[in-house]
């Protein structure tokens, strides 16, 4: 149950960052914060599935960069 609460808190933080920026530019700091939250959510979700997951794959990182979330 704790993992679900942590994941939900990370998602709430991510949504707050997106809402705060609106249609404006994302700064490098904001991008890092978003990337950290996305990575946390992914880690929690995979841990819940029983996978030993500690970092995102290169494909996932590349996709996040294409979306402008990661720098």
Q: What is the pLDDT of residue 53?
A: 42
Q: What are phi and psi of 12, to 5 degrees?
A: -60, -40
Place of tokens 């704790």: 2
Q: What is the pLDDT of residue 32?
A: 80
- For residues 39 and 8, the answer to whether their CB atoms sit within 8 Å is no
Query: How does pLDDT run across 2-51, given as a tens digit for each residue?
Result: 767 777 788 788 778 777 776 667 777 777 887 778 877 777 766 666 55
CA distance 58 to 24: 27
CB proximity list for 55: less than 8 A, separation 6 or greater? 39
Q: What is the pLDDT of residue 61?
A: 65
Query: Which helix (H) or strand (E) element contains residue 48?
Result: helix 28-48
What is the band of 52 on the pLDDT scale with cuts at 50, 70, 90?
very low
The radius of gyration of the chain from alpha carbons, rounded to an integer in Å, stands at: 13
């Amino acid at each position: 149950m704790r993992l679900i609460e942590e994941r939900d808190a990370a998602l709430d933080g991510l949504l707050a960052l997106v809402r705060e920026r609106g249609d404006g530019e994302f700064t490098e700091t904001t991008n890092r914060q978003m990337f950290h939250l996305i990575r946390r959510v992914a880690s929690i979700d995979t841990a819940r599935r029983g996978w030993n997951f500690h970092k995102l794959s290169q494909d996932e990182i590349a996709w996040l960069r294409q979306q402008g979330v990661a720098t």
